[in-house]
Chains A and B, each alone.
Chain A
Amino acid sequence: MLLLARESRGLSQSELANQLNISQGKLSKAEKGAQTLDFEMLSNLSKITNYPISFFHQASPDSPVSHHYYRRKISVPKKTINQIEANIKIFRKNIDELMDAIELPEYSLPSINSDDKRPEEIAELIRYKLKVTQGPMPNLVNLLENHGIVIVKTDMFTNKIDGLSTISDRGVKIVFLNKRMSTDRQRFSLAHELGHLIMHFDIPSYPENIEEEANRFASELLMPKKEINNDLRFLTFSKLGDLKRHWKVSMRALVYRAKTLETINQRQYRNFQINFSRRGINKSEPIKIADEKAFILNRVIDLHQEELGYSLDELAKIVHLNPVEFRDNFIQHNPTKLTIVRNDQR
């Protein structure tokens, strides 16, 4: 856990060794389990990394990071990637610990091999499974949580990573979304990660194709060709705002979709890009899409408090985090209080 603690705080080995006043070699050995640290050292480590001492007495998570899929730009520094992965591993472990006593909606979406069907066909099938047969996809976070996917909106320390999907050791499907991004971008990322969960998690696939396949899946899921094709003809800047409100996707995603569906040509596509940059809306687009709040994680905490009698501090202890970090991570917003669903016939 020493390695995870260090990486999750974005510290290099030499930086932490300096702060602990020990040699880098000693720290390296301790991280590999070849050397033990005395209580004083652990206490210092706890102060520097802001994890309770009990954090360092846990077993490291077993599962590798291999089951991670990112929607990201290529230029993310390795250090940031390590920091995110370490945080995700900790988060994932915490979620498993909290799910011990909790029953989630059953995951009911199929795994489909993209060798058998095109990503677009798979997306059409998934729309059918989600019972959204036509029109814009409604609250996607809510829809997927109803199908047993846990969605976590968290800070990913950079604007260059959009989201990530993973499966916990206990099989919980989790999608992490970067809360720095706008809702329209988060929706596309969520659709993209859903594509990974369906097409790539249980099925061996070619790594060079998976990102493109996930993008094609997401585009079709959010903007089905048969419905949007006409909307994207004679595309103008003034029309983009309306389409964004209607389909709840970014203007850039709409323009890209128009290019893919060949309702605009390469030159027009380039003109749109130039105009986006000229109008300064490359990074922040006008028109805000309504926020899609995640529910499950909050509900899990509520149930622990209301039904199982835990306090927030006790829950923080269970997952070996300090109470402030626990609140930041697990209490994502203040949802309206809802009654507990009980199935007495079971």
Chain B
Amino acid sequence: MHIQQLSLFSTKENFEKDSFESPLNIGIFKSIGSAVSKAFDEFCTHDIVYFDKTCRSNMLNNLVVKMVSQSCESERLNFVKTLTNTRRSFCLLDNKYIILFKKSPVSNVRTRQDDLLKNQELSKHVLILTYKVDDFWSEISKLQFQYFSSPNQVTYSFDISGYLNTNDASKNAPIVGTPSVRVKRKDPNKKAI
């Protein structure tokens, strides 16, 4: 029964960890790491004090997708343009892996779509690029790919936190105005006695 059903769809090969972690992909992972850092830096420039958790998570996720698509899109990494207006953004790596973006921890809320993705019921392997922010939202503390084999089971994860750019250089605060500092001039109306 099971075999019959599978035969209706294109089958996929087993997920090979070594193939995914291949040195050929390292360049892509590095640029993803740097794009995620850039996204977080931009996120920090926004005043989010009065935003709720969901809103700020969406903001950050949108920025991550934007930055990764802007700086990493290439022949090997394609973002899928969707007209469906769903918020789920994803890209394809080598037309072999589907990569989704989520803030860690990945939600446990189950939907039909989520189940399809996490049960790997698609023709390509689905990996979720998860990023973890610390308690204060001060930095991205972990960046990794996760491979789910069922909604609650991660069978493989690959940590690429080492490719995050920790930007310690402090930024300069914008100025309100330039202080008027000048050389003292003699008053031309004052005549020498």
Contact = CB atoms under 8 A, between A and B. Distances in A.
B23 interface: no
Nearest to B139: A286
Contacts of B47: 245-246
A261 B181 CA distance: 40
B44 interface: yes
A292 B175 CA distance: 8
A296 B134 CA distance: 38
B172 interface: yes
Nearest to A339: B178
Enumerate the 7 nearest inter-chain pairs by beta-carbon distance, A residue then B residue, closest first: A241-B136, A286-B138, A290-B173, A246-B49, A139-B173, A287-B138, A242-B49
Given A102-B184, A291-B171, 18 more contacts: A104-B179, A105-B179, A105-B181, A138-B173, A139-B173, A241-B137, A245-B48, A246-B49, A287-B138, A288-B168, A288-B170, A288-B171, A290-B174, A293-B172, A296-B181, A340-B183, A341-B180, A346-B185
Contact of A299 (B48, B136, B177, B179): B179
A103 interface: yes
B49 A245 contact: yes
A329 B179 CA distance: 20
Interface residues of B, number: 28
A345 to B, nearest CB: 11
Contacts, number: 107
Interface of A: 101-105, 138-139, 141-143, 145-146, 183, 231, 237-238, 240-246, 251, 286-293, 295-296, 299-300, 303, 307-308, 338, 340-343, 346
Contacts of B184: 101-103
Interface string B51-66: 0000000000000000
Nearest to B47: A246
A241 B179 contact: no
Interface of B: 44, 47-49, 134-139, 168, 170-185, 187
Nearest to A248: B173
Contacts of A139: 173-176
Contacts of A238: 135-137
Contacts of A244: 136
Given A138-B173, A139-B175, A142-B176, A231 B181 contact: no
Contacts of A288: 168, 170-171
Contacts of A146: 176-179
